[in-house]
Amino acid sequence: MKNLKRIFISFTILMVIGISLFYRISEKTQYGKRDIVYYNDQLHQIEQDLENGMPESFAEEKYSCEIIMAKEINNPELTELYVDGALVLDLTVDGDYIGKVAWNDKLDNFDNTKKQFLYAATLLWAVILVLGYLLMFYMNRSFLKPIEELKDFAINIAKGDLDKPLPIRKDNMFGSFVEGFDMMREQIKLSISRERQAEIARKELIQGLSHDIKTPLSVIGATCEVLELKYSRKMKEEGAPIEECQDTLDKVRTISSKAQSVSALMSDVMHASLEKMEKVELNVKEESTVLLEERIRSLSSYGKIVLENHIHPCLVYMDRQRMDQVIDNIIGNSTKYAGTDISVSFSETEDMLMADGKSGSFIKIRIRDYGPGVDKDDLPLISEKYYRGKNSSDKSGYGLGMYLCKMYMNKQGGGMEYYNDGGFVVELLLRKV
C-alpha cells in the first residue's frame, strides 16, 4: 500500500511540474508592445532614402515595411492593412505628402506566438509520454512480473517441483502475499519429506515383520521335509504301521503346504502394503493341468471337496506357485464363510476373447460352495484391494485374497469370474498352450 501511495504522489508532482512549465512558457508568449519612437525613426530614415533616390522596393526590403503610393483612405491595400491591425504612417518626401508606410507587426507577433505555443504543447506531451513510459515500466516490474512469477510458481507446485523458491523483491507490491506463498511451499516440502520418512519407516517395519514371520516358517518347512523323509523311510521297513505312517505323512505335508501358503501370503501383504502389487512379476511357464487336480486333492484338510470329473490333461500357461495360492485362497474362503461341501469341476472352452484382446482356448476350473453366497452389494467389490464384505466382521483377513486371485489370473493370461448360484461360485480360466 505504501508503494501505491508513492506512485500517486510521484506522478502528481511530475504532472504539476509539467503543467507549471507549460504555463510559464504561455505567459512569456505575449504580443509585443509597439515602440512609436522606433517607428518614427524608421519613417524619417525611409523619407531620407527616398529623397536620395532609393527605389521603393529597396526601401521596403531594408525596413521590412510596405510603401503604398496612395492618398485615398479607402484604397484597397490600406483597407486590408487596417483590418490586419498594421501600423500605418504618412509618407512625406521633400515636403510633399505622397502616400503611406505600413508595418504589419501584429501578424509577425501572431506567428511567433503560434510557434511558442506549439513548443510548449510539444514539451508537455513529451513530459507526459516519458511519465507514461516510466509508469508502465514500474507497473510491469511491480505488478505484472510478480503475477507472472506467481503463475510459474503455481505451475511448478502442480508439477511437484518444490525446490524453486518464489522471488521476493523489496519493491514488490505483493511482498507479504508472495512471502506467504513461499512459506506454504516450504511447509508442503517439509510435510512431504516427513511423509516420505514415515513411509520409509512403515516399509522397514513391514519388511522386518515379514522377515521375522518367514524365519520360523522356514524352520517349519525344513522340519516338515525331515519328518516326511523320516516317515517315508519308516514305511519301507518291515512290520511298520503303514496306515499310521501314511496319516502322519499326510499331516506333515499339510503343515508344509500351509507354511508355504503363509509365507507367500506374507510376501503379498508386504507388497500390497507398499502399494506395489501391480509390479509383482509372475513366472508363467507351460505346466500340466494334472498338477492342478493334484493340488485340489491335497486340500482335503479344508473339508469335503468333491471332484465332479477329472481335468483334461494338457499344457496351460501358469505360474505354479501363484496358481496354488489362488486355489488355496478360494477353497479356504469357501470353508471360512460357507462351511459346506465344496464342488470342483473341470471343462474346456471354445475360442473366446479375453479383456486383453487375445483369443484362445481355455481350461475352466469351477469351484462352488453351498452357502448363502455373497451379499449383492458386496459382490462387485470383493475383488478390490482391502475390501471386506459385511459378513467378514468376525473373520480374520486383510481384504486381499480375491484381489490377488484376480490379479494373478489376469497376469497368467487367463481370467476369473464369480457370482451367486445356489452358493458362491468362482470360475478360473487358464489359457491352453
Mean pLDDT in residue range 268-274: 62
Residues 6+ apart with CB under 8 A from 392: 337, 399
Position 31 pLDDT exceeds 60 = no
Residues 6+ apart with CB under 8 A from 369: 334, 338, 340, 341, 342, 343, 423, 424
Please state the domain extents for the chain. Answer: 2-29+109-155, 36-103, 200-278, 281-431
Position 71 pLDDT exceeds 60 = yes
Residue 189 CA: distances (Å) to CA of 133, 176, 196, 210, 422: 41, 20, 11, 31, 55
Ranking 35-44, 345-354, 388-397 by mean pLDDT, the lowest is 388-397
Other CB atoms within a 10 A radius of the CB of residue 352 amount to 12
Instruction: Give the range with max mean pLDDT: 11-15, 139-143, 297-301, 373-377.
Output: 373-377
Integer Cα distance of 432 and 414 in angstroms: 9
Q: Are strands 342-353 and 305-307 parallel, antiparallel or unpaired?
A: parallel
Q: How does pLDDT run across 88-119, given as a tens digit for each residue?
A: 888 888 888 888 899 887 766 666 667 777 77
Mean pLDDT in residue range 344-359: 79
Instruction: Give the range with max mean pLDDT: 15-19, 76-80, 264-268.
Output: 76-80
Taking CB atoms within 8 Å and a gap of at least 24, the contacts of 173-177 are 173/3, 173/4, 173/142, 173/143, 173/146, 174/146, 174/150
Query: Which of the four pLDDT bands, split at 50, 70 and 90, describes residue 319?
Result: very high
pLDDT at 32: 52
Position 278 pLDDT exceeds 60 = no
**Hey, is 430 helix, strand or coil?**
strand
Mean pLDDT in residue range 346-367: 83
Q: How does pLDDT run across 112-154, given as a tens digit for each residue?
A: 667 777 777 787 788 788 878 887 887 777 777 777 877 887 8
Ranking 17-31, 101-115, 134-148, 399-413 by mean pLDDT, the lowest is 17-31
- Picking from 274, 122, 132, 105, the residue whose alpha carbon sits closest to that of residue 206 is 274
Percent of the chain past pLDDT 70, that is, above it, reads: 82
Taking phi over 0 as left and psi of -120 to 50 as alpha, with beta for the rest, 363 belongs to beta
How far from the centroid of its chain's Cα atoms is residue 54's Cα?
95
Position 315 pLDDT exceeds 90 = yes
Integer Cα distance of 113 and 82 in angstroms: 21
Integer Cα distance of 119 and 325 in angstroms: 98
Q: What is the number of alpha carbons within 13 Å of residue 160 lying toward its C-beta?
A: 2
State the fold for domain 281-431. Answer: Heat Shock Protein 90 (3.30.565)
The predicted model scores a pTM of 0.44
Mean pLDDT in residue range 234-246: 82
Integer Cα distance of 105 and 77 in angstroms: 16
Query: Which of the four pLDDT bands, split at 50, 70 and 90, describes residue 318?
Result: very high
Of 128 and 284, more confident: 284
The residue whose grid cell reads 469357501 is 334
Tell me which H or E stretch contains 73.
none
The residue whose grid cell reads 485340489 is 296
